[in-house]
Chains A and B, each alone.
Chain A
Amino acid sequence: MAEIGYLALLFALLVTLYSIIAYILGIKNDNKRLLASARGGVLSLAVLTTVASGSLVYLLLTSDFSVEYVAHYTSSYLPPVYKAAAFWAGNAGSLLLWLWVLAVIAAIVAYSRPKRGQEEEMLPYVSMILMIVALFFTYLVNFVANPFEPAAKYYADGYGLNPLLQNPGMIIHPTTLYIGYVGFTVPYAYAMTALILRKTGDAWIKVTRRWTLFAWLFLSIGIIYGAQWAYVELGWGGYWAWDPVENASLLPWLTGTAFLHSVMIQERKGMLKVWNIMLILVTFLLTIFGTFLTRSGILQSVHAFGDSNLGTYFLVFMGALLAVSLFLALDRLPLLRDQNQFESVLSKESSFLLNNLLLVGSAFAVFFGTMYPLISEAVTGDKVSVQAPFFNTVNVPIGIVLVALIGVCPLIAWKRATLRNLVVNFLVPFIATVIFAVAAYLYGIRHLAALVSYTVSAFVVFTIILEVYHGVRVRRKMTGEGLLTAFGRLFTRNRRRYGGYLVHLAVVMMVVGITGSSVYKVEGTASLDKGESMQVGDYTLTFDEGLKATIEPHKAVIYTDLVVSKGDQALGRLRTAKEAHHNAESLITEVGVKGGLREDLFVILAGFSERDYRAVLEGRPSQDPVTFKVFVNPLVAWFWLGEYVLILGTLFAMWPGRRLKAPVTAGGMKR
């Protein structure tokens, strides 16, 4: 089977090369047959990478340790689901996953039914660019990190999967993240095609709207599932540590979000053409940058694949892409100059620009902070770390203004906002927000950052409600529809707009979750003897059974089931554990989480004596005190719930709307 995978990758390289050459010659000579053949090459790449991926999954599931990758990342005892997930556990497999996703997307694009005109003309160029990107990854999986390399020595059993990766989150997080990363290649390819063809209007933006949303959605899911994995698996009580690799995934999300908003200005007013080209270029490069950061080992990270020479390849690839893309943009600059005209400084358009400034500013701050250890070492020789204290100081104020802007934007008129319509539009939400702020203060929210964050969030919710209310009222007045019909049709006839509002609501839910779990987190640490209890917040935890152990062939689990109660209410038992894996130097924490909408009780088995460790493994009772670290994380569930609303909103916005029938001309001909 390894041979099949090996050959599939080799043929993949050949068909990719062939397809690129066929596209170039086909475009040059306007040879339709050659272009069709090149398109066949794209499909072949998708088939071959599917065969290679299938081979790798088969090898992993059957524990074929004659293959180095299988031996390095799995072992015979691993559950099948994690054997399959080991596909992307290492460099070679994750690059194959990237290539596979790219090949499938390229085939979907190549075989999509274009509307006549510009879109049809663009397609061969777009496919060619996608294949050029694919060529880079095909080269890597063939010659630099081939997952089908035979094992260098005999393995009776594999080394096994990193225990931290043995979590359901690691099945969803990398795949969705990669689909998001790769998805941005499509709008990038269309943007470059628009430059090559000198068709710098908004055709490329209209064609790629759904692809951009698709990529953005998957990137969002990937980031949030990564946070969920960190929450339950890294065992430190939080979900976002501003780690370099986490930051690398946030960067294209920030610029991608800016792009999603700024294209609306180009669609409406034909402006910001250069800006949009630059934004999608930067977003695409940042997806590659994330991969470079994970694989180069230039920065320390809990997520990194470790040092490898792959970083150099990515650096060269990024440099080449940047050079070619910038050359194209500069060469076509006169075509990108638009008739920039704004009726007023104060308008919805300008609020979109401010949104872009803040998103890109935040992305720059994250990028600068992430890279600063390297800059500092190069300039001063000082090794420094840049962690949460810096990122929170810089990004929290930007984030709060951004959220406020989510509320302001829908209420400002397009073209020109006057003082009168500002007062009319803002009066109700402003009064409601002031009442909310006072009520929140009286309720006991006195922490300034929390009060500001919740007030701003409430403002956004009020504006969304007001927008929906106005929409329903106008609709009922114009059409005479009933309340529910008007409400339903308001959403379904304006999917993009109201899908966007749902996403904004999701962002607010996440902000509520982040604020609650950051500001009002309660924690406690205690060393308990058997029978003793500890109190954290309203919770009482009793260590009544001592430590226990289960021993499996591949790991030993030391655990205890604490009795949990809240006030007079018994909440049952909560297990927290430490696992000793043969392939991990230190013990792995398995946290206990009892969650609800209001708060999570998060328990870590922080430490126990060496004597007890040996005793429980030998079946004897533990005797020494055991240390527990307990967090009460308020509202954290709202962060996860926000994710589902975000998915719902994005899908709603992407879903094809009702198509209008083409108007019939006097002669009865459809135009």
Chain B
Amino acid sequence: MSNRNVQRLLLALGVLLALLIVTLPAYAASMELRKEVESNLICQCGCTMVVVDCQCEWAENARVDIAGKLDQGMSVKEVIASYVDIYGTKVLAAPPKSGFHWTVWVTPFLSLAAGGGLLYLLLKRWVKSYNRDRYRKKDGTGDSLRPEDRVRYEKKIEEELKKYF
């Protein structure tokens, strides 16, 4: 191979590499966008799966349509909105974060927070109850451990230790 041909080949390879560097990230990004849209839409063939997972004809057509819309420059939100316009909110894989539908998004977390708060208050109360009893016993005003109970508890501890070892 002559030097000239080697130069041409190198040039071609360089151009190819440059093209790959420019186009691959864009391709990967476009794949990510497609996946994002497909993961947020429900297939309308009746299978109840999201488009990205379904293999039916409806899902195949939707994938082509989504890719086309993204290639035309529509954003993820716009593509999703275009499906909502046609099929209504039932095409969405999760309720929109608007109006009454906020309830589904916030209720689980609010419930957890409320449960956590309640638990903390209960724990504080139980700790307070324990401390009150302890001080009463120290003062001699409360019930102290009866001798027979003490023997019983010690025996139980001994049995537990035997069981453990």
Chain A contact residues, CB within 8 Å of chain B: 235-238, 241, 243, 300-302, 340-345, 350, 353-354, 357-358, 360-361, 364-365, 368-369, 372, 375-376, 379-380, 382-390, 393-394, 398, 475, 478-479, 493-494, 586, 589, 604, 606-607, 629, 658, 660, 663
Contacts and interface: CB of A to CB of B under 8 A. Distances in A.
A586 B129 CA distance: 66
B130 A388 contact: no
A302 B50 contact: no
A385 B48 contact: yes
B127 A345 contact: yes
Range of interface residues on B (Cβ < 8 Å) = 35 or more
Contacts of B105: 390, 393-394
A660 B162 contact: yes
A237 B47 CA distance: 15
B42 A387 contact: yes
Nearest to A372: B104
A118 to B, nearest CB: 19
B129 A243 contact: no
Contacts of A344: 127
B93 interface: yes
Contacts of B89: 382-384
Contacts, number: 140
B164 A493 contact: yes
Given A300-B48, A380-B99, A385-B42, A607 B108 contact: no
A372 B127 contact: no
Contact of B53 (A238, A301, A345, A394): A238
Given A340-B129, A345-B127, A390-B94, A302 B55 contact: no
Contacts of A353: 119, 123
Given A361-B111, A369-B104, A388-B39, 9 more contacts: A238-B53, A241-B53, A354-B116, A361-B108, A368-B108, A382-B90, A390-B94, A586-B56, A607-B60
Given A235-B55, A388-B39, A493-B163, A342 B123 contact: yes
Contact of A357 (B88, B95, B116, B129): B116
Contacts of B47: 302
Contacts of B100: 376, 379-380, 382
Interface string B137-165: 00000000000000000010001001111
Nearest to A369: B104
Contacts of A345: 120, 123-124, 127
A581 to B, nearest CB: 16
Nearest to A524: B31
A369 B92 CA distance: 14
27 contacts: A236-B54, A236-B55, A302-B47, A302-B48, A340-B122, A342-B126, A357-B116, A358-B112, A361-B108, A372-B104, A376-B101, A376-B104, A380-B99, A385-B94, A386-B94, A386-B95, A387-B42, A387-B48, A388-B39, A390-B94, A478-B165, A586-B56, A606-B60, A660-B159, A660-B162, A660-B163, A663-B159
Given A345-B127, A376-B101, A394-B108, A388 B93 contact: yes
Contacts of B125: 340
A625 to B, nearest CB: 14
B49 interface: yes
Nearest to B93: A387
B49 A241 contact: yes
A372 B89 CA distance: 13
Contacts of B99: 380
A384 B127 contact: no
Given A353-B119, A383-B88, A493-B165, A388 B107 contact: no
A389 B49 contact: no
Contacts of B163: 493, 658, 660
B65 interface: no
Nearest to B96: A384
A341 B56 contact: no
Given A236-B55, A241-B53, A365 B39 contact: no
A589 B56 CA distance: 11
A88 B119 CA distance: 43
Given A340-B129, A357-B119, A390-B105, A243 B165 contact: no
Contacts of B14: none
B25 interface: no
A341 B134 CA distance: 11
A481 to B, nearest CB: 9
Contact of A342 (B50, B94, B115, B130): B130
Given A383-B88, A385-B94, A390-B94, A301 B48 contact: yes
A586 B164 CA distance: 60
B133 interface: yes
Contacts of B159: 660, 663
Nearest to B133: A341
